[in-house]
Each structure stands twice: as structure tokens, then as C-alpha cells.
Structure 1
Amino acid sequence: MSTIDTEQTTDNTDSGAPIRRLAAWDTDSLCNLAAEFETPLYVIDAQRVRENCARLLDAFPAATIRYAIKAHSGQAVLKVIRDAGIDVECASAGEVKAALAAGFNGNRIQYTAVNPPARDLDAIINWWQENKQLTITVGAADTVERLQERGFDGRLCIRVNPNVGAGHHEKVTTGANAKFGIPYERVSELATQWATEFDLVGIHAHAGSGISGEDLSSHEELVRRMGTLARTITECAGSLEFVDVGGGFGVPYRANDPPLDIHTVAERTRDALGTVDATLAIEPGRYVVADAGVLLTRVNTIKSARETTVVGVDAGMTTLLRPAMYDAYHEIENISASPTTDSMPVTIAGPICESSDIFAEGRSISAPTRGDIIAIGTAGAYGYEMASTYNARPRPAEVIYDDNTAKVARRRETRDELDVLETSSDEHSVSLSSVVSHSHSSVAPESTMSSSSTGDTPPGGESQ
């Protein structure tokens, strides 16, 4: 825990605003945090997370709100969200484990299975035995069969593919992607069958991620179809507890882009759903944490190239993948420079041996010198979560500050820790003939390992 004074880390006039721009962060405090905890460093503001949760609760007062953990799964953040009164949606067994560890009860957890590996289902069923109110969302009839084989007969939600998608990039547009959900036209029949075998509690669909005002018509069409489907299922299979229309509510990454009017989104969502005998549910992720985080990185190289000046920094695509993965834009500032420093166009590049390891090209920032701190804004969502150890580079540290105190939420990974999974050549070996024989088998058996044998020990338990 640091004794750094973070009282002025945020501009109090920005408190409660629908979006926090990079300029609203106090640069002196951020530079102090970089000096104290080194770089690359993620910084998360707990109070901003609370403000975003409060805004959602105000806009959707009668809805069930589930935070999509994949945006940021850190324990410190999850506990803030838990205390704010928002539930969670989990896309993996690991995220369910994180939710349980953060103190969410089973009735506040929804697990959305997307082609779930056997070891995920084994772990989920193990936790369900102790948390019978946990809801499992399925996107394939095959997954239902696999759950039945494991003895599941609990709370079931059906993920629907409504053939309507939206989002900031084709790689995050899910509503019309065949990978996600059961085709809309098949759901009523399956719901009628599964209502006799499970506690059928809801239907779910998700258009995509980063939905802006321009995409709201697609979101509305998805919600409209889900309302129609809910009314049909109620007639043929009985009432539902909720209709979940996903999240994906976008935030403006560019300084001049307008923020999403979440109250307008809420009103249009309710109107599109129509009258249903069920509670509306939503699953925001990015909206809750994106503007609550920044990434700090230090300049280590300045190189004059043929057509640009390359500014090398110690963060890279292994630290923040979004620019390389989605061509995503993030605000960037040289926060070490004085207000009178002239600006210049530069290319900001990381240390990874890939041409895609670029944060910005032709971006105008205050002229940097070696050792300056560069701040990358709106980095609280899908930042640390998508970090990797490619090029054998340890993952960064993350600090969270709250009540004028900054503390390490996730410590910096070390180079030595990158080797912990390495084994000696004779530690685990099998004969080549047995491997070949097994690979020729037509269907590989599903895992029947307990959660403890897969490392998925429920929080509070001990490995056997």
C-alpha cells in the first residue's frame, strides 16, 4: 500500500459525468504512481467504478444488472461492483471462481457457456452443488446434454442467436455470429422440452461489444425479437424469470466523441422489449470499468525515422492488445511534459517484435524525452484482461486507489515466474505408441476429473 497522496488524482468537477476523459486525471498524481510502482502500470479508480454502477442502476431501476466479468476480473474491482449491488455474468469457469472468491453468492452469478471445455463444466457443476441458485446459460443443445450427463437439473437460461449484431469491430459483433447461441427459430421448441427437465428461468442474447448511438437501432431490433420470443415461450412453456438482452454499451474512446446517453438507451430498450411477464436483464462490462482505468508507460527510445519519429515505450501489445487486435483508438498524452511544451506528431511503439505493436501513428503529443511518462486513457476494460506473456515478457502491475490511498491490486509478474510451468523431460512422459493409439479413437472421452484435480478449487476450500 502506498502513502502517495491521491486526493487530487481526479478532477472533482468531472465526478459523476457520463464519461471521464484522459484530461480529467491529475497528471502529477499519475506520475507519482508511476515512480512508486514502476511501469508499465495500470491504474484503476474505485470511485469511478462506483459512479458508473450508480448511473446504470439509476437508468435501469427495475432491471437485473449483471456485470460482464471479462471486461476486468480483478478482485479489487469485483468487490466494488458487488458492494454497489450489481450481479455478475461469467464466460468461463475461471471467471465463476473469481466471482465466488469476491463474495458473490450463487444467486448473483450467471455462467454463460460458449463451447465449454469439459474441465470447465466439471468445475461449474461442482460449484453448483454448493450454490444451487447459480444460473447456467447454454448456447447449444449439445451443451445441455453434457450438463445432464453431469447431473445438472437446475436454473437454465437459453442463449439465442437472433441474427442481429452490432459493435465497434467485426471481431466483437456476436448477435449474428453462428458461434453464439441457438438459432432464434429453434428456441421455442427446445424451451418447451427443457422446461420439463430443468428450471427454465430465462432467455439471453447479446448483439456485440462497444455499441454506440449509431448502433442502437440494431440493439432495439434484437430486444424487440427477444420480447416476441419471450411471449411465445410463456404461452408454450410457462413463464420466465428474466429476458437478458446483453450489454455491449459503448464508451467514447476519442476525446471529441459524445458519451452514450444511457437513460435514452434504457428507455428505448424497455420500449423495444414491450410487455413481458419477466424482468429485463442487461450485462454491461466495458461501461462499468473502461474510463475508470489508465495505462502508464515510460519512454525509453526516441528515433528519427524516414517519415516519422518513433517513440518507444515499455508497454506493448502484450500489455494492451486492443490497438493491435481491433485497430482501437485510445487517447494518449505525455503527462511528464509541461503545458508549454510544443506538440509533435509521433508513432508510439512498444518493445514487442511485431509490426502490429503500435499504439498510435501520426499522433500529436507534447514532444517527449527519454524517461517521460505516457498515459493511455480509457484502459480499464479489456486491458489487463487481454495481457499476455508473448516474447517472454511478464505482465504488468495494477494499482487501485480509493479513499486517497493507492495499493497494489495485481503485482508485477517476474521473469522467473514465466518458467514455473516448465517441467523436466522425464517428469511426465508416455509411450509414443499409446499416444498414437488414443489419437485414432473416434471420440475422446469427456473429462470426469473433479474440480480439485483441475486446479479449480472452490474459494475457501483446499486442494485434495
Structure 2
Amino acid sequence: MSRVGDGGPAVRRLAEWDATDLLALAEEYDTPLYVIDRDRVAENCARLREAFPDADISYAVKAHTGQAVLRTVREAGLDAECASAGEVERAFEAGFTGNRIRYTAVNPPGRDLDRVVGRWQANPELTITVGAADTVDRLRDRGFDGRLCVRANPGVGAGHHEKVRTGANAKFGIPIERVADLAEAWAAEFDLVGVHAHAGSGISGDDLTAHRELVSRMGDLAREVESRGGGLEFVDVGGGFGVPYRSEEPPLDLDAVAAATREALGDVAGRSPAGCQAELGNVDATLSIEPGRYVVADAGVLLTRVNTVKEARDATVVGVDAGMTTLLRPAMYGAYHAIRNLSAGVDSDTDGEPNATGDRETVPVTVAGPICESADVLCEERPLSRPERGEVLAVGNAGAYGYEMSNTYNTRPRPAEVARSGTTVRLVRRRETAADLTELER
């Protein structure tokens, strides 16, 4: 198995967040509280631009749709890849223009197509990516004849969990062996601008073999489409670049990923950055990627307060005010997030876990939320400085799919969110109230 080495850029670990600053935010804004560092978002965007200087990079908006994040991404020069009509609206609100927005439709509801086609009529440079011939029929019925990208199902997927491996899942894209025929037919009716595929989410160095295979198949597809007279502006090989959630996991080596991507596409000859072109054999098209998690994961933490400490038969259960409605990933994917007791005043290692040098005893604890479900735990048997009621815990790598997947199960309002840049902190999403949850009821 190919593996990316340890030479990648440093990732921001939980221990690198200033405990005093985070405790002050918890005191001022209450908990649960999401904290997003806009400076780190900008740094991650710059790192991607450096590794892929000739590529078209679009941020996968679904990772975090907050306006503070979207504006930071736009200012950093990345475009927006949107998975829904709502995300398209958010992108426009954040200042993206139509030529910097791609809408990737997955079994889109009619109202989504109505809204996006309406936006396209006023912004004809907007691109729509389709993953089914049926979607093209529905677009045609709405009068769309603009910029079309075709999503292929390459038959190979990767990612941190089976639920996010999209490349071989029948739900996503048109079987790659059928795409060239359809693209040839659609090129006569629409402005065919690209082909697209996505392996999955949270791809690690261990998944590089699958990534290479997907990219290679997309290169072959691009050449076939070109051979039939269908010139392409871009070949989009997706994103899904992972970040290390555990201390023993090295940062993803973006330079190695970029080199592997160019090699797998086939006979890539770099052009000037101004042209942003990569020659794919006999296909003159832009390499396009769409990272999401990599941009925002380590730019966010979740703060939560301890309300209960219980000595159960086989575990010390620490109850907190954040649960699976606040951060769903542990319950949904069994995902690991580093957790740190900010109030304990102990030194921590690079993963945010306490060292034995602290004054307080370190004990294995299960951190559980307030939701009436056994899956509502943030960790089990995790060594932490023994938490006490009222103390604040920080949950790391919460910037991607944290707030986005939050929900109101058990009628629990969603948390507040603050964004910081330098020394400036701003409340960017107020805390929901019970009244907010019943406002739409009749």
C-alpha cells in the first residue's frame, strides 16, 4: 500500500490552542460553544494553493457553511463547490460570483433545481454537475442549456468510514463506462465543461493507492471525451484529503498527494500558474480538486462544560452539555476526537491528552452527553485529568462537519459559534433557544 510520509505540513493539535483564551470564551459565551480560527482556515487554503499551484481549487462548502468561513475561503482565492441549493445561496451571500460556484447535484429535489436554475439565469457562468441522465432531463425541462459537468462513478472509493466512501457507491455518479457516450450527446446541447469524480471523505496516506486509481481512470475518461471532440475546461478528481485526528497519525503530505495526482492523470506537463492548466496527455484541461475537511477541521474546537461526574460499576462517566446533537461524528462514524480538560491546569501532549506530570490524577473516563441514547458519547475509557463539575473540556478537530451536522433531537437548541482572527473574536451564530425550535409550528 502506498503511504504518504511524515514530511507533510504540521497540523494544529488540540494542545496548541491556548487554554486560558478558550476558558475565557466559554465564560463569556457559555457552552456548548464552537470556536473557529479564521487565520488557520486561511493558512490551510494557502497550503493547498502551494501544493497544487496549477490547479483549480474549490472548497467543499458542506464541511462548514458559516459565512465567516466562506468569506475567508473566498478571500484566500478558493472557489465554492456546493452540494445543495441552500449552499449555493450561502456562497452567493458570502460574495462568490457565479463563475466561482459549482453545484454538484445528488438526486436533487425539484425545488433545488428550480432555485439553482433561477440563479444560473442571472449568473450564466455557474456550473452544474450532474450524476444521472435523469437530472439532465429535469434541467432541460427547466430551460437550462449552460455549463454542464458530468459526475462519473469510477468504481473505486476511499475514506475514513464506509458511510463516506462515495467513489464506488451506486448513489453517486454515472458508471464511468457510460459517461463518454452521454458526454458526446450532451455536448451538442449544453456547454460541456468538465468531468468529475470523488473517492470519499477523510482520505489518509493509506488510501493513496485508491486515490491514484480514481485519478488514473478520470484521466483515461478525459482522453476519451476529448477524442470524440468534446473539449473540457477541467477534470475534477474530488477532495476528501484527511487530517490526523490521533496523535500517532502524521499530517497528510500534500506535496506527495499532488505529485501522485499529476502522475496518475497521465503525462502531465505543468503550465504557468496564470494559465492554471495541466496537459492530460492529449487533453488540455485544468486539474480541479475540492477539499473541505482539510480546510477547516483543525481550525475548530468545541467547548463543553461538565455537569455530572458519576462512578458507575465499570467506568467513570463524565456528563457534559454537548452530545450527539452538538457533535454527531462519534455516534455516527465512531470517530475519534481528542479531548482536553482545560480547567485542570496540566500539561498536555501533542494530542491534547494529559501527561502524568500534572498535579491532578489521570483517570479513564467516558464523556457522555445529555441525549437519551446509548450512542451519545464523545469518548469511552479515555485518560483525562479527573474532571470536576463545572469544568470545561475542549474537543479538537471540530471545524469540519461539527456544526454542520448538529441537530435539534430531544428539542435541544444548537450551540453558539464564535470566529476569531488575530485578537478579534466575534459571535457569528447566536445560540438557539427553545422558542426558535417551535417558531415554525402551527
For 1:133-282, what aligned pairs fall within 5 Å after superposition? 133-275=125-267, 276=280, 277-282=284-289
Question: What residue is the counterpart of 1:298 in the other structure?
Answer: 305
Question: What residue is the counterpart of 2:395 in the other structure?
Answer: 376
**Structure 2: distance between partners of 1:337 and 1:405:** 26
**What do residues 23-82 of structure 1 show as CA deviations (whole Å, max 9, x unaligned)?**
110000000000000000000001000100000000000000000000000001100000
Give the CA deviation at 1:17: 4.8
**Structure 1: distance between partners of 2:183 and 2:40:** 40
**Structure 2: distance between partners of 1:178 and 1:368:** 46
Unaligned ranges ≥5, structure 2:
1-7, 268-279, 347-358
2:434 to 405, 412, 415: 415
For 1:46-65, what aligned pairs fall within 5 Å after superposition? 46-65=38-57
The answer (yes or no) to whether the contact 1:68–1:285 under 8 Å persists in 2 is: yes
1:70 to 62, 66, 81: 62
Question: What residue is the counterpart of 1:12 in the other structure?
Answer: none
Q: Secondary structure at the match of 2:343?
A: coil
**Structure 2: distance between partners of 1:313 and 1:17:** 33
Percentage of pairs with the same residue? 68
Give the CA deviation at 1:342: 1.8
**Structure 2: distance between partners of 1:403 and 1:42:** 17
Question: What residue is the counterpart of 2:371 in the other structure?
Answer: 352
Let me know the Cα RMSD of the aligned residues. 0.8
Number of residue pairs matched by the alignment: 408
For 1:24-173, what aligned pairs fall within 5 Å after superposition? 24-173=16-165
Paired residue type of 1:111: Y
Larger displacement relative to structure 2 (328-337 or 273-282): 273-282
For normalisation by structure 1, the TM-score amounts to 0.87
Give the CA deviation at 1:255: 1.7
**Structure 2: distance between partners of 1:239 and 1:158:** 13
**Structure 2: distance between partners of 1:176 and 1:65:** 23
Q: Secondary structure at the match of 2:381?
A: strand
The answer (yes or no) to whether the contact 1:308–1:347 under 8 Å persists in 2 is: yes
The answer (yes or no) to whether the contact 1:309–1:346 under 8 Å persists in 2 is: yes
Give the CA deviation at 1:256: 2.0
Question: What residue is the counterpart of 2:275 in the other structure?
Answer: none
**What do residues 181-231 of structure 1 show as CA deviations (whole Å, max 9, x unaligned)?**
000110010010000000000000000000000000000000000000100
1:285 to 269, 292, 306: 292
**Structure 1: distance between partners of 2:376 and 2:396:** 17
The answer (yes or no) to whether the contact 2:9–2:251 under 8 Å persists in 1 is: no
Paired residue type of 1:372: E
**Structure 1: distance between partners of 2:249 and 2:264:** 26
1:387 to 378, 386, 406: 406
The answer (yes or no) to whether the contact 1:22–1:378 under 8 Å persists in 2 is: yes
For normalisation by structure 2, the TM-score amounts to 0.92
**Structure 2: distance between partners of 1:343 and 1:405:** 34
Paired residue type of 1:42: Y
The answer (yes or no) to whether the contact 2:102–2:128 under 8 Å persists in 1 is: yes
Give the CA deviation at 1:237: 3.3
Q: Secondary structure at the match of 2:238?
A: strand
Give the CA deviation at 1:319: 0.2
**What do residues 137-192 of structure 1 show as CA deviations (whole Å, max 9, x unaligned)?**
00000000000000000000000000000000000000000000000110010010
Give the CA deviation at 1:403: 2.4
Give the CA deviation at 1:18: 2.7
Question: What residue is the counterpart of 1:438 in the other structure?
Answer: none
Paired residue type of 2:394: A
Give the CA deviation at 1:341: 1.6
**Structure 2: distance between partners of 1:270 and 1:35:** 48
**Structure 1: distance between partners of 2:169 and 2:382:** 34
Paired residue type of 2:295: V
2:321 to 303, 306, 314: 314
Q: Secondary structure at the match of 1:231?
A: helix
Paired residue type of 1:415: A
Paired residue type of 2:222: A
The answer (yes or no) to whether the contact 2:199–2:211 under 8 Å persists in 1 is: yes
Paired residue type of 1:123: R
Question: What residue is the counterpart of 1:397 in the other structure?
Answer: 416
**Structure 2: distance between partners of 1:253 and 1:421:** 38
Q: Secondary structure at the match of 2:397?
A: coil
**Structure 2: distance between partners of 1:403 and 1:370:** 31
**Structure 2: distance between partners of 1:144 and 1:237:** 20
The answer (yes or no) to whether the contact 1:191–1:237 under 8 Å persists in 2 is: no
**Structure 1: distance between partners of 2:244 and 2:327:** 17
**What do residues 295-351 of structure 1 show as CA deviations (whole Å, max 9, x unaligned)?**
000000000100001000000000000000000000001010022222110000000
**Structure 2: distance between partners of 1:212 and 1:112:** 24
Q: Secondary structure at the match of 1:295?
A: strand
The answer (yes or no) to whether the contact 2:417–2:430 under 8 Å persists in 1 is: yes
Q: Secondary structure at the match of 2:237?
A: strand
**Structure 2: distance between partners of 1:326 and 1:403:** 33
The answer (yes or no) to whether the contact 1:43–1:293 under 8 Å persists in 2 is: yes
Paired residue type of 1:357: D
Question: What residue is the counterpart of 1:323 in the other structure?
Answer: 330
**Structure 1: distance between partners of 2:262 and 2:196:** 15
The answer (yes or no) to whether the contact 2:9–2:253 under 8 Å persists in 1 is: no
Question: What residue is the counterpart of 2:4 in the other structure?
Answer: none
